[in-house]
Structure 1
Amino acid sequence: MKATGIVRRIDDLGRVVIPKEIRRTLRIKEGTPLEIFTDREGEVILKKYSPIGELSIFAKEYVEALAQTTGMMACITDHDQVVAASGHGSREYEGKGISRELDRVIAEREMKCYYGEEKGKIALVENQKENKAGLIIQPIICAGDAIGSVALVGKSNGERPGNSEKMLVQTAAGFLGRQMEQ
């Protein structure tokens, strides 16, 4: 555990403020769900809650099927990291933090398609090497909230995903959103 040197007091309603610097670093915004744990030494641990993380085994199987079907790399993310990835180059993505641009796309709740060297193309993960292949991103919506995304990344420069790949990504995101509601 990393010491920050910041001390906060609990108010009369049992609340404690998480310092702005920590919220910014961990991308904790108003409404971000947190899990609360305690350990034997009396420590209270706050962890960002990821509903998609609970489906990680299922998500891994789903991206493997998407990658096999399309021949492209497939990723499923939550608001923080790539939960599951499969296909050529997936090792560079799995478990990595998502980029701020991808977080913005998730918040916008609309499918985005990027082709080749198009301006405005985004990185899926932080510090990603430049990729000139096509990219499709579909946010996962659960109970009205955008909770993550499904993405397909082309395997070669200039590869343009077609309508069938767009439909597969939409279907995957819709299915995962409904699974989370159950």
Structure 2
Amino acid sequence: MKATGIVRRIDDLGRVVIPKEIRRTLKIREGDPLEIYTDNEGEVILKKYSPIGEMGAFAKEYADTLHQVSGHIVIITDRDKVIAVSGASKKDYMDKALSQELERVMEENTIVFVKSENDMSSIPIVEGDTTRYTAQIVSPILSEGTVIGSVIMCSTESNVKMGDSEYKLVQAATSFFGKQLEQ
């Protein structure tokens, strides 16, 4: 366990403040859910909770199905990292931190739709991603009005175009995941 040298007292309501430096480093935002664990040595462990991360195996199967239907790369993320990949190398994406551009798109709850390689506005998916995506759809997953992740369909092949069918597949996926997590 990493020592920070920061000490905080518990207040009369049992609350403790997580220092700003730690929240910034771990990308913990106001309102983010945290899981609380204890271990055998009496330590309390706080872990950022990812509701969509709990659906990892299901997300993988969904990504595989979307890839089989569309023929494109499909990536599913939570707010911080990639949780499922199909149609691309898992080592290039799985469990990697999201790019700042993707985090911004999710934070602003916007949709990126790059229809073909003539449109140069694709965004990197993970930190350090230098891949040129020739077509890309990025859509945030909303649950109870809060962005909890994203579904991405993309291609690196030349002469690939994405249209309404791909857009609707991605929208169906984001809607499905959002509704599953609201139950």
Pair 1:123-2:153 in alignment: no
Match of 1:42 in 2: 42
Q: Alpha-carbon deviation of 1:123?
A: 1.2
Deviates more, 1:82-91 or 1:35-44: 82-91
Q: Alpha-carbon deviation of 1:118?
A: 4.4
Give runs of aligned pairs for residues 44-63 of structure 1, distance below 5 A.
44-63=44-63
Q: TM-score, normalised by structure 1?
A: 0.92
Match of 2:96 in 1: 96
Structure 1 CA distance, aligned partners of 2:19 and 2:121?
33
Structure 1 CA distance, aligned partners of 2:14 and 2:132?
48
Provide the aligned C-alpha RMSD in A.
Answer: 1.7
Contiguous gaps of at least 5 residues in structure 1 = none
Quote the sequence identity (%). 53
Contiguous gaps of at least 5 residues in structure 2 = none
Kindly provide the CA deviation profile for residues 38-89 of structure 1, in whole angstroms up to 9, marking residues without a partner as x: 1111111111110001111110000001111111110111101111111033
Give runs of aligned pairs for residues 118-157 of structure 1, distance below 5 A.
118=119, 120-157=121-158
Q: Alpha-carbon deviation of 1:157?
A: 4.1
Structure 1 CA distance, aligned partners of 2:154 and 2:178?
21
Q: Alpha-carbon deviation of 1:168?
A: 0.4
Kindly provide the CA deviation profile for residues 67-124 of structure 1, in whole angstroms up to 9, marking residues without a partner as x: 1111111011110111111103343111111122212211222321135374553211
Kindly provide the CA deviation profile for residues 107-158 of structure 1, in whole angstroms up to 9, marking residues without a partner as x: 2223211353745532111111232321101111112211111001113146
Match of 1:108 in 2: 108
Letter in 2 for 1:151: I
**4+ runs deviating over 6 angstroms:** none
Deviates more, 1:1-10 or 1:92-101: 1-10
Match of 1:171 in 2: 172
